[in-house]
Structure 1
Amino acid sequence: MPDISPRLRRRINADFPQHADVVVDRLHSLDQLVTDSRQDPDRMFAAVVRLAQGRLDKLDRASRLAREDWRDLLVGADFGNEDWPTRLSAWLDVPAPAGDGARRGRHTPRL
């Protein structure tokens, strides 16, 4: 089972303060996909969380997108290019604005 890093766990807690455990469980439902993709687990899980924008309905949509084509998931979350480690760190290492689960990142792709 791929681990969820402490910094991603902090972001989940900030984005989903009432539902963090639900989010973690749903992310772990993607464990086999993450393993099969051979991508960095933080990158894959964070892409789902980023596209979810603090909303469980969008978390479900992002999870479906991951299952349909994980590459589209990474591109949609802005983690699809070579500089993804820098973008991932910038997103994970900045505290989420309080009460602003729907407005993060440079742009927000529609799911």
Structure 2
Amino acid sequence: MEELMAVTKRIASVIAQQYGNDADTVIWLVEEAELKTFKKPAHERIAAAVIIYADGDVDRLFGALREMQIDWRDLLMIAHIGNPGWQSRVDDYFGAG
């Protein structure tokens, strides 16, 4: 059985491009925040929202992780993936999944 992970391969690829040597730490932070918030890995959309909002900026990354824990629905809205059609924005940012 495959372990569920918050950060999919396509999201991990973008994290590697944006954060370089710190990519593993960023992935760990996202996955830990999801476990703390949801008690399990969340849908890819949540991790996508964090990375889209942060866009390679460490301060924004921590802000997105805080927002996830306060109200994940607000995080979806500030990342512009809170409405119908969000899948195409995620695909545009991370590549087709």
TM-score range for the pair, normalised by the shorter chain length: 0.7 to 0.9
Q: Give the letter for the 2:26 counterpart.
A: V
What is aligned with 1:88?
Answer: 90
**Percent of aligned pairs sharing the same letter:** 28
Give the 4+ runs in structure 1 shifted more than 4 A: none
TM-score, normalising length: structure 2? 0.82
Quick check: which one's helix share is greater? 2
TM-score, normalising length: structure 1? 0.73
Matched, 1:78 2:95: no
2:28 to 25, 46, 50: 25
Distance 2:83 2:63 in 1: 22
Select the structure with the greater relative contact order (CA < 8 A; seq sep ≥ 6).
Answer: 1
CA contact (8 A) 1:2 1:34 kept: no
What is aligned with 1:98?
Answer: none
CA contact (8 A) 1:8 1:46 kept: yes
Q: Give the letter for the 1:52 counterpart.
A: A
Alignment RMSD, CA only? Answer: 2.1
Deviations 1:80-103 (A, max 9, x none): 011111111111118xxxxxxxxx
Distance 1:91 1:35 in 2: 27
Note the residue ranges of structure 2 that are not aligned, 5 or more in a row: none
CA contact (8 A) 1:51 1:59 kept: yes
Distance 1:20 1:35 in 2: 23
Q: Quote the offset at 1:39 in angstroms.
A: 5.6
Note the residue ranges of structure 1 that are not aligned, 5 or more in a row: 95-111
Distance 2:83 2:14 in 1: 22
Distance 1:76 1:31 in 2: 17
After superposing the two structures, state which structure 1 stretch, 85-94 or 53-62, moved more. 85-94
Deviations 1:14-65 (A, max 9, x none): 11112101101101112332457x962x110011111112122211111001
